[in-house]
Structure 1
Amino acid sequence: MAHRPFELARTRVSLFEALLRARDERGGKYKILEDHERKPLSYDDIIRAAFALGGKLDMLIKKRETAGILLPTGAGCTVTFFALQAIGRTPAMLNFTAGAMNLRAACEAANVKKILTSRAFIKLGGLEALEKELSKHAKLIYLEDVRKTIDFGDKLIALLKGSFPRLFAAKANPDDTGVILFTSGSYGTPRGAVLSHANIVGNVEQAHAHVPFDPDWVFFNPLPMFHCFGLTGGTMLPLFTGHKVFLFPSPLQVKEIPKLVKETGANVFFATDTFAQQYARNAKDGDLNCIKIMVCGAERVKPETRELYKTRFDVELLEGYGATEASPVIAVNIPGANKHGSVGQFLPGIEWRLEPVPGIEGGQKLFVRGPNVMRGYLDPTKPFGIDLLPQGWHDTGDVVDVDEDGFIRILGRVKRFAKVGGEMVSLNAVESYAQTVWPENLHAAVALPDSRKGERIILFTDNADAKVEDLQAWCKENGASELAIPKRIVVIDTIPVLGSGKTDYVVLQRMAAERFAEAKAA
């Protein structure tokens, strides 16, 4: 197990070239990718399939036209992604869990007129209503129909192109747009992040230099490829570094995934804390013991989740931190340097600075810059317009504390602080207090305007017995601020989550506003 030193020069290639480079290093016949259909693909298979499909898409999608990809994680989505790269088209990864309104806004912002999808996926996912809505604004191209038109001659041409890929692949500047991804939208409308080829390749190289991966380890990725963690960490990282990867279409199959992890002998696994808990609860003894590196991102790792994995599977959970705008990985804990409660140290090549936030003590707002940080956000007012970052600095919106060893502790987003009685209260802290009192349940806090105190805190929970008094008693006993005690606790069946596994605060905010308005009216 060894680190590969981070070399900026290795980031200066296109996504397709990074795939070809990995093929040269591992060998074209090396079986690199498998999905739930259990038909392993070699590097040569992926490249030939990308040229065969790309040849057809070249006639269906105009030059300089962004193509939407609406597909689940798997071999089909990966080949489609590289088919577009081979013909010099930009893919925009569309979040099929975001709802018709958000998806339509995403298509408009990214200038998407054609969407690549699959009839089987639409049917399996029950996405017919979404399909109907999207077809009013864009032309849907079904991959099954395209594949039917690929004949023997097309396969022969793909074979030739696959033998001399650098001759036939579209030339791309590393700083050209490689992919458009949309932020999770946990706090508002998703925004289009414009990531260059060098951003994604750079983040792969940074992660590979920071985390000690054994060359023979197998990756397991159930995260959606419309989410940056699933695209870069779960798919491009293993492909570009020569690690076998098993792609699974949904993180929600909590009974199926632990069995498959055991069956595939997977060693590297990415998840969120919420999903990690569910996998452990549904796993049989021994199912997850093959995991060597399990990185959890998108939300705080709870102490009980850590304990569960350590005692049952002897797996030490590693917490990481990222943002779509940073391709996404910014920091991650590693074996031997794993500080609980932190998200690890910065990846090599990342510059960072902190700025104070009025009213917030103990932490400052984080800004980052580096080879993995996006070009900018899509400017929906101009076709192909990009709102470039000032001097390349991205304002993460996160309030953090960095200790003397460089470990980062996330205190919360600037948006996740409520002003109660003139004091700034972290809503993340409120959630963690509730988690300590009721560890078996899920909780989410939001703030609403309050005419007397500025804002009031509402806690949503799936614990039917949760009472404000119990939380009040715990806060008093443990010296937590009285201002952090929610005014109301609202019990709901399930805490809503986004496709990425993050809490959907937009829905909760709306629910709180409606309930509060009803209470006021009553």
Structure 2
Amino acid sequence: NIAASNFIVFSFILGSSGLYYVLREFVGLTPTMVFLGCGLVTVPIAVIVFRLIPKETVRCLFWLMFRVLYKVRVFGSEHIPATGGGLLVCNHVSWLDGILLILNSERPVRMIAWAEYVSTGVSGWLARLYGTIPIRPEDGPRAIVTALNTAKAAIKNGELVCIFAEGGITRTGQLQPFQRGLLRIIDGTDAPVIPTYLDELWGSIFSHRDGKIFWKRPRMWPYPVTIVFGEHLKNPDNVNEVRQAVETLGVKASIMRRNHELIPARMFLRKCRAARSRLKIADSSGQELTGGKTLIGTLAIKRVLERLWLKSDEKNVGILLPPSNGGLLANMAVTISGRVSVNLNYTLSDKDIRYCIAESGIRHVITSRRFLEKKPVEFDPATQIIFLEDVKEKMTGADKALSAIAAHAVPLCILERWLGLTRIKPTDLMTIIFSSGSTGQPKGVMLSHHNISSNISSGDQLFQIKRTDVILGVLPFFHSFGHTLMMWLPMNVDCAAVYHFNPLDARTVGELALKYKATIIAATPTFLKSYLKRCDKEQFAHLDLAIVGAEKLPQTLADEFNAKFGVIPTEGYGCTELSPLAAANVPDHRSQGITQVGTKLGTVGRAVPNVCAKIVDADSFVELGNNKPGLLLIGGPNVMQGYLNNPAKTAEVIRDGYWYNTGDIAEIDDDGFIKITGRLSRFSKIAGEMVPHIRIEEELARIVEVPGSDEVEIKLAVTSVPDEKKGERLIVLHKPLPKSVDEVLKELGQCHLPNLWIPSADSFLEVASIPLLGTGKLDLKGIKDQALNAFGPAAPGVSS
């Protein structure tokens, strides 16, 4: 075959050379005229080819154009059946989704599309050419049924059909609920459902990111697109099963493309250069740095650290600094040096801090004298301390000059190689964050570069970060949310960040928000309540996104915050092991004729892009499906690598490579919204019944709340101790109450709670303060210890 092909090709070349010689020497044509004549001759040939094979010709033209505009990677094409009918069910992200699928499928695909867009003009001609099945919802149920029956007939005839089961393009970036029509199509056909996922298209010019389509600059060129075809589903019971399969493909898509992505450190270099003369970071000390100065400072600190302190074999570096410019620059310097940052929790005891240092094998800790004056720490003598003040003092003119040249003049490709960033793999360890230790000793959570970059991508897609945004960071960098979404996210996208070290200092937070026109803030409900009481409306005038986590958001607080500042707090969900973001509510989308729900109060929202959630039985791990309470598992590229030096504990919580056992009890509704109903460790088994502590806490907090009070501290907590008769006994730790225990119990009895959920009067213990962690969350271990000391087997009963 090869020999025959070469013979034919070279024969034509020889013949063409002879023709060219004759036309030039005997006819007298110039080379320009010869080539023009050849071109004109091909016109009728092209017309004939187009008339004979129009579909293939148009497909070839589109393929050539899209090869220039898009860089498409396809995975799982072997799942497309070679023969016979099938139904592709795909997420819908942009206006070009259908064309991309047609061009990248090995077999012809008939699309189901809204008739209004495929009935007239060129689009109508193309739709008829490729057998597109128009659907007209505005014509009523009969028209819809007709379209679905047409699709079913096509599948029975051995054709491939594709439906975008969400019923429209996503306006929020999240996977929308699936419509039931897909089940009608496959009913009685015995054809497979092929889950399909289009990844990376959110943010392209044909998506609805930023609330507009087309009129925005391409983020990159050629634009990357990943298409994943999944394993067949046979006779799915419901649309949620299909949606789960498509959502899971989003996880696989992110994992499959990770080797093609830039790690956060490389993105940091690019975004600093892009903001060379624009504000990039500021803090409450008054220091402001542009992107250029941020990069220069990072490179200069790296030079000094490596010259004077950090050895080449030193992998993990401790950082003990609050949210500030200095804290950020120290983190950036450690990371671009190829080392692992370990932000130490300064709210822990000295003993626990020393434990974290020893567990991580840390030799040096970067901090500042000014910080240690406010928060003294007794380090182990073997630990060497690097003070930022000393780094600044040891920084020479050469350090600054060379760093400035590298930041502004050296090409990025050379700078990255010089820094060694091109040798770092996405799966390499980037940071160790110690969990808060709410139930015991802190655990070191190991997060890779891809863990962090995937979570940054999810947050950027979900919250639609703009160049004009200013993030107000008040969460500490030892907190996973503060580390990933308050520090690394603004360093990897086009926005600015402003930091303050004390989230409860509402006065300063308000002043910073006003001065820098902050548009995004992340906080706990406790912090929000403080801002609600002590910040003026004008200070949050530019705020349009308030992200809330760590605690359940009370509905009354959300309503009051919205009434004063005009912003509905967005409740999200995550944990250190998930890098941390896993789910979030987003503002609803409403436009002419289209409404997409992004928020359901009382839930933590839908899974973020490229992350999936499912509910399983807590004992058997059998999947339960929607609208049934059970154990929440989260799967995604954001799932940690594991616990530091603890493979046994890692194996307990990570299943099948990327499913993390959250330990939370939740349920998922048909729209994909997750409602947390409790934590497995925050349930008591009393007389064989599961009793949720959080539900009781919510009712008690409402009963003891004083109207108009400025108090923002947590006033009570529910825990349990062993009980010989019923298995466990509920205990309520509380600060001084405005009502007697009897009055509280009387009102609690009117809340329609089961009798088993009502603590006895002698189970209330008054304490000076409720044990809390540095993140503001309940210290469950400390609460449990106090209860056991007072009510345990060796302690006498205590009553208020």
Q: TM-score range by the shorter chain?
A: over 0.9
Is 2:529 the partner of 1:277? yes
Is 2:774 the partner of 1:520? no
- Contact 1:468 1:485 (C-alpha < 8 Å) held by counterparts: no
**1:92, CA displacement in angstroms?**
0.7
Is 2:350 the partner of 1:100? yes
CA distance in 1, matches of 2:757, 2:636: 36
**1:64, CA displacement in angstroms?**
4.2
**1:73, CA displacement in angstroms?**
0.5
Pick the aligned partner of 2:363 from 104, 109, 113: 113
Pick the aligned partner of 1:472 from 735, 742, 745: 745
Q: Structure 2: which amino acid aligns with 1:501?
A: G
Tell me which residue corresponds to 2:474. 222
Tell me which residue corresponds to 1:31. 279
- Contact 2:458 2:608 (C-alpha < 8 Å) held by counterparts: yes
TM-score where L is the length of structure 2: 0.61
- Contact 2:271 2:492 (C-alpha < 8 Å) held by counterparts: yes
What secondary structure does 1:520 align onto? coil
- Contact 2:298 2:329 (C-alpha < 8 Å) held by counterparts: yes
TM-score where L is the length of structure 1: 0.92
Q: Structure 1: which amino acid aligns with 2:599?
A: N
After superposition, give the CA deviation of every residue in 1:302-359 in whole Å (9 maximum; x if it has no partner).
1221122122222211100001011100001011121110000001111333221259
After superposition, give the CA deviation of every residue in 1:166-204 in whole Å (9 maximum; x if it has no partner).
242222111111111111112221111110111111101
**1:450, CA displacement in angstroms?**
1.2
CA distance in 1, matches of 2:554, 2:382: 42
Pick the aligned partner of 2:489 from 237, 240, 247: 237
After superposition, give the CA deviation of every residue in 1:392-419 in whole Å (9 maximum; x if it has no partner).
2211111111110010011111101011
Pick the aligned partner of 1:147 from 381, 386, 392: 392
Query: What pairs with 1:499-510 in structure 2 (closer than 5 Å)?
Result: 499-510=774-785
Is 2:609 the partner of 1:348? yes
**1:442, CA displacement in angstroms?**
2.9
Is 2:20 the partner of 1:20? no
CA distance in 1, matches of 2:650, 2:419: 26
CA distance in 1, matches of 2:327, 2:637: 25
CA distance in 2, matches of 1:288, 1:271: 14
What secondary structure does 1:432 align onto? helix
**1:362, CA displacement in angstroms?**
4.9
Question: Once the two structures are aligned, what percentage of the paired residues are identical?
Answer: 27
Deviates more, 1:406-415 or 1:156-165: 156-165
Tell me which residue corresponds to 1:403. 669
Pick the aligned partner of 1:73 from 304, 323, 327: 323
Distance 1:33 1:2, change over 3 A: farther
Tell me which residue corresponds to 1:446. 719
The number of residue pairs the alignment matches comes to: 514
- Contact 1:433 1:471 (C-alpha < 8 Å) held by counterparts: no
Q: Structure 2: which amino acid aligns with 1:309?
A: F
Is 2:606 the partner of 1:330? no
Query: What pairs with 1:296-445 in structure 2 (closer than 5 Å)?
Result: 296-336=548-588, 337-357=598-618, 362-379=628-645, 389-390=654-655, 391-440=657-706, 442-445=715-718
Distance 1:364 1:350, change over 3 A: same
What secondary structure does 1:255 align onto? helix
- Contact 1:304 1:439 (C-alpha < 8 Å) held by counterparts: no
Query: What pairs with 1:133-212 in structure 2 (closer than 5 Å)?
Result: 134-162=379-407, 163-164=409-410, 165-171=415-421, 172-212=424-464
Pick the aligned partner of 1:492 from 758, 767, 772: 767
- Contact 2:703 2:748 (C-alpha < 8 Å) held by counterparts: no
Is 2:293 the partner of 1:45? yes
CA distance in 1, matches of 2:490, 2:686: 46
CA distance in 2, matches of 1:146, 1:259: 30
Instruction: Specify every segment of 5 or more residues in structure 2 that has no aligned partner in the other structure, as ranges.
Output: 1-170, 174-200, 204-224, 226-253, 589-597, 707-713
CA distance in 2, matches of 1:362, 1:380: 33
CA distance in 1, matches of 2:636, 2:568: 29
- Contact 1:112 1:138 (C-alpha < 8 Å) held by counterparts: yes
Tell me which residue corresponds to 2:337. 87
Distance 1:455 1:94, change over 3 A: same
Tell me which residue corresponds to 2:110. none
What secondary structure does 2:363 align onto? strand
**1:494, CA displacement in angstroms?**
3.1
CA distance in 1, matches of 2:511, 2:278: 25
What secondary structure does 1:208 align onto? helix
Larger Rg: 2
CA distance in 1, matches of 2:729, 2:650: 37
- Contact 1:330 1:347 (C-alpha < 8 Å) held by counterparts: yes
CA distance in 1, matches of 2:693, 2:559: 24
What secondary structure does 1:233 align onto? helix
- Contact 1:2 1:213 (C-alpha < 8 Å) held by counterparts: no
Deviates more, 1:477-486 or 1:340-349: 477-486
CA distance in 2, matches of 1:333, 1:2: 10
Pick the aligned partner of 1:58 from 306, 328, 332: 306
What secondary structure does 2:541 align onto? coil
